[in-house]
Amino acid sequence: MTKYVYSFSEGNMNMKDLLGGKGANLAEMAGLNLPVPPGFTITTDACRAYFRDGHVPEGLSEEVTEHLSEVESTMGKKLGDPKDPLLVSVRSGAKFSMPGMMDTVLNVGLTDESVKGLAEVSGNDRFAWDSYRRLIQMFGKTVQDIDGDLFASAIDDLQKSKGYKGDLDMTTDDLKELVSTFKDIVKKETGADFPQDPREQMNMAVDAVFRSWNSERAKVYRRRERIPDDLGTAVNIVTMVFGNMGDTSGTGVAFTRDPSTGHTGVYGDYLQNAQGEDVVAGIRNTMTLADLEKLDKHSYDELRDIMKRLEDHYRDLCDIEYTIQEGKLWMLQVRVGKRTPAAAFRVATQLIDEGMIDEDEAITRVTGEQLTSLMFPQFDAKADKTVLTVGTPASPGAATGEIVMNNDQAESRAAAGANVILVRSETNPDDLRGMVAAQGVLTARGGKTSHAAVVARGMGRTAVVGAEDLVIDEVAGTVYIKSKDKTLHAGDVIAIDGTTGQVFEGSVPVVDSPVTTYFGEGLDAALAASPDDDTKELVHAVDRIMTRADGKARLEVRANADNPEDAARARAFGAQGVGLDRTEHMFLGDRRHYIEDVILADTDEEQQKALDALLPLQKGDFIGIFDAMDGLPVTVRLIDPPLHEFLPDLTDLSVELAVKEAKGEEVTEREKKVLQAVKLNHEANPMLGLRGVRLSLVIPGFVNLQVRAIAEAAAELIKQGKHPMPEIMVPLIGSVREMQIIKDQAKDILAQISEETGIELDLPIGNMIELPRAALTAGEIAEESQFFSFGTNDLTQTTWGFSRDDAEGAFFQDYFNLGVFNVSPFESIDQQGVGQLVASAVKAGKAANPDLHCGVCGEHGGDPASIHFFDAAGLDYISCSPFRVPVARLEAGRAAVHNESTLGSANASL
């Protein structure tokens, strides 16, 4: 029989799959003999069974009763006992941290009777009634799906009527009044009284936590973070400890290092006389840990000691939640802390220097997405700026956009192409959609550990929080700056600096990040461009990580480049060649008429004349790219698109000529021929029509032109003492015979140029794998090919059987909502389908031709998750856009370390 419940003494930090992150880490802390309130965890297996069967699994209730009895025995109290009640929290906890995305209910077990017992035994009436109103409010919103604004409005109305500034001003009588009001809200909204059976409360709360796994905000967050939908959440039942028992009590969040910068020191927030949700909700601005030291030196010293122990134990920056109940410290959670990209790189290198991790592990502690964020532009320090106010810098970056005040505004304006800044008094988990759509987040309340700060850091969004100078009226759509006596409105443009906390009026010019300068111009130039020592430290950290990643990487990183400028930029960014040079891009713009001439030719002689006119242009293009990549391979793809892409649109041209005729203007013979050619070359599905190798077979002059241009360009550079390394790639191969024909034709041309120039030109000739048939017959094709390059964009289209341009707008969102996709297969490789074709083709190709070189040149070549897959599949190189080269280099190193570790673990288990 499946075991669904584990006490904290039965788990450890390595059981996150079963116990979730929170449960596994609570068990780990308990195992370290840290002060953890007694409790137990309901497993993710139970959650999955709940969704599979539509109800909690058989036997769960009995296991919960058994473990609850153990907690009651330990505490010497019974759940909800009228005289001395045991109260518990019911908390979510998935394998991967999803801050604020799922539900938690505190103070479970309080009833109309037990609240009196709690008041009596604690000697604190206010605390007891405050806890009861919190339970009804949280339970009503999260368990009974009552609009949370109904409860919040009741609090606001009471406080305004009595002239209170905040919740701490409320008296015991006020709280009793709120409890009565809240119970009336529950009765009105649900048709039933607030439940008075403590076990019923707990069971309902467990159900609610399970359901919250599939809440809209949780699904949005998982899609963004690429967390699988089938993991489920664990549920943690934990004895309540109370931070709202007076001035000797409180609650807080602490980090063992600054999650914004990565600097060592004392970082965290503390709220006196509060419960945990008050800190993350940002309803009051918090104190610092330095303030806690003055208030309660004993608890502060104990907390600092535990922080050090946990960081040493986890060997990483830790995020810790704690409560102090009348001078007694309790640990409620620990997890590896989310951090900004700058902090990630700094902390990784600090931990190397402190001997906690080695260089290989350090490169696994940072990600390509974080590196991308560091390469974003930053505000120009020399630009004229008008500072409106300053808040707490919570997540670095430079963000400019229109003020928006809710999810709908953010999404609609972003969909219209506008950059937006989400401005709120404070954020809550329901604001996730707006945060995803926004460039940055600005709040009037909250600290570095508030919801806005934590989620923004995890998402790489710029954030400034706790700007107390702001009065935000979300209904009126206004932002009043008290110190300036100035009012802004929704739609006005502001800029926020997540590094300094400054808020500026209007847009602010940006400049390249020193990290971008590092990749483009080198370490010395980046240090010279760094405005302060902190930035120089960051540049050094990036340099150390990248040096190690390059040293570990097995995959080469090439770039997709169609002109000398892109090739030179890619080389500066560290590309080891060009993996895709799309020659058709050289035929567009002013040169389009040359291809028209080829298409319109009536005779072979006319067609050859048109192709001959293109030869010097193509040769010049190749000389530029080969020279920019001198000594490195340049893979040139022969012409690929269907002919219609070089001709006018049929409808547009028909209308244009019809208008000319209607006006009595003459339609030229060429215009008539073009219209005829457009009609002749029109295809119902051109992406599966006359393109790629098929075009080269139908018009072999294209092969002659392009191979000759490649060969002559290479020969000319060799004569200059250069070392060009071109490779010829045939697109859209589906049959080995297609490859044989083009290969023989290309070899004949190379032999001619070699004879004409006296230079031996034995250039590699390979093909793209873009069709399932090519992947399935890779062994045969490999016998005629020197390299494979997987065109994963087309391979995805032809494997799934849909057109990217049509499908993404037509039904992809439905597929996300229905769970068919967790991420677009064009964004990250479909490992179970398309990926298996890649892996099997590599295996079959190399078995048939051990010297076969395999790479990928689709957009997946710059996607971190795809890069890890390609490394494991045995590819030899990846190719991506020039600006993604640094990210690909880092991920290639990370993939090598990860796959080494996986292989080592597998061997160790044999």
Alpha-carbon radius of gyration of the chain: 32
Euclidean distance between CA atoms 624 and 646, whole angstroms: 24
Amino acid in the structure at residue 138:
M
Q: Which residues contact 604 (CB under 8 A, 6 or more apart)?
A: none
Q: Which residues contact 599 (CB under 8 A, 6 or more apart)?
A: 643, 646, 647, 677, 681
Q: Which residues contact 628 (CB under 8 A, 6 or more apart)?
A: 564, 567, 568, 571
Q: What is the DSSP string of 761-826?
A: ----EEEEE-SHHHHHTHHHHHTT-SEEEE-HHHHHHHHHT--HHHHHHHTHHHHHHHTS-SS-TT
Angle between helical axes of 198-212 and 44-53 (0-180°, round to 10) = 80
* Residues 544, 366 contacting (CB under 8 angstroms): no
Burial of 148 per CB tally in 10 Å (0-12, 13-18, 19+): middle
Q: Which residues contact 271 (CB under 8 A, 6 or more apart)?
A: 243, 250, 251, 252, 278, 279, 284, 286, 287
Euclidean distance between CA atoms 11 and 74, whole angstroms: 18
Both tokens of 881, joined, read 């856009």
Query: Which entry of 47, 318, 854, 857 is annotated as an active-site residue?
Result: 857
Query: Which entry of 451, 644, 860, 868 is annotated as an active-site residue?
Result: 451
* Residues 360, 551 contacting (CB under 8 angstroms): no
Residue 223: how many other CB atoms lie within 10 Å: 18
Strands laid side by side in the 88-94 sheet: 5-7, 39-42, 233-239, 88-94, 104-108
Question: Which CB contacts under 8 angstroms, 24+ apart, belong to 811-816?
Answer: 816/223
Residue 880 annotated as catalytic: no
* Residues 389, 380 contacting (CB under 8 angstroms): no
Euclidean distance between CA atoms 508 and 506, whole angstroms: 7
Euclidean distance between CA atoms 276 and 595, whole angstroms: 68
Residue 454 CA: distances (Å) to CA of 335, 501, 599, 839, 845: 13, 15, 59, 38, 47
Report residue 664 CA to chain centroid gap. Answer: 59
Bridge partner list, 481: 470, 486
Report residue 420 CA to chain centroid gap. Answer: 19
Report residue 70 CA to chain centroid gap. Answer: 41
Both tokens of 896, joined, read 């090598």
Euclidean distance between CA atoms 543 and 625, whole angstroms: 28
Residue 446 CA: distances (Å) to CA of 179, 435, 466: 26, 16, 5
Q: Which residues contact 346 (CB under 8 A, 6 or more apart)?
A: 261, 262, 263, 537, 538, 541
Euclidean distance between CA atoms 292 and 243, whole angstroms: 13
Euclidean distance between CA atoms 730 and 693, whole angstroms: 6
Both tokens of 810, joined, read 């037509």
Residue 593 annotated as catalytic: no
Q: Is 345 left (phi over 0), alpha (psi -120 to 50) or beta?
A: alpha
- Residues marked active site are found at 451, 857
